[in-house]
Chains A and B, each alone.
Chain A
Amino acid sequence: RKEVEQDPGPFNVPEGATVAFNCTYSNSASQSFFWYRQDCRKEPKLLMSVYSSGNEDGRFTAQLNRASQYISLLIRDSKLSDSATYLCVPYSGGGADGLTFGKGTHLIIQP
């Protein structure tokens, strides 16, 4: 079983809409979770960290369900600039361990 599974998409969403993606993870020892966004041919940029049940930052909300081992990302009032690949990264390390990335979910916001 893969460490993290996401629907690769693409999700085609009209500007202004709300969109949500789920991410399931296999390692129940994962304590921390990160959402990164990656634009085409660019580096991943940290969008949000989740250490408890969830986190909210402006239009972005992450919700963690430990019992079912999934984490979701909700984007409200989507903007054209939100078009990117969103990478869910569970982390069970002790401080200086590498991250395991999947292919992420590709989001396209359409005008």
Chain B
Amino acid sequence: ETGVTQTPRHLVMGMTNKKSLKCEQHLGHNAMYWYKQSAKKPLELMFVYNFKEQTENNSVPSRFSPECPNSSHLFLHLHTLQPEDSALYLCASSQGSAAQGSYEQYFGPGTRLTVT
């Protein structure tokens, strides 16, 4: 399945590094999302973009900086992270319209991030 792709799949970074996660969706959707899943915890919403505009920031620390240049691409820029930021970062997309049947979100395989 290649509807939503994410790169890299694994990333190890030091606390002083700067890195970026990339997500691309090939589903013609307009809404894209970042979620974080720490070990043995539920997914937590981080950011929502609809038609390239950020519509939700779920009180995420500023060391995480999202970017959505178009409806198909979403980035998460990382800088000065902490070890507790180690987690699986998942991107998702949905149609983004208000029509029933268009609410389903489809997830990418995630980037497993380790901060050392």
Q: Do A and B come from one complex?
A: yes
Asked if A32 CB lies within 8 Å of chain B CBs, one says: yes
A91 within 8 A of B: yes
* Complex contact A32–B110 (CB within 8 A): no
Interface size on B, residues (CB 8 A): 34
Instruction: Tell me the B15-55 residues at the A interface (CB within 8 Å).
Output: 30-31, 33, 35, 41-45, 48, 50, 55
**Which A residues, 63 to 111, have Cβ-Cβ distances below 8 Å to chain B?**
91, 93-104
Query: Which of these, A42, A98, A104, contacts B45 with CB under 8 Å?
Result: A98
**In the complex, what's the smallest C-beta–C-beta distance from A89 to chain B, in angstroms?**
9
What is the interface of chain A, defined by CB distance below 8 A to chain B? Answer: 31-32, 34, 41-46, 49, 51, 91, 93-104
B residues in contact (CB < 8 Å) with A: 30-31, 33, 35, 41-45, 48, 50, 55-56, 58, 88, 90, 94-110, 112
Sample (14) of A-B pairs whose CB atoms are under 8 Å apart: A43-B90, A44-B43, A44-B90, A46-B105, A93-B103, A95-B31, A95-B94, A95-B96, A95-B97, A97-B56, A99-B105, A102-B42, A103-B41, A103-B42
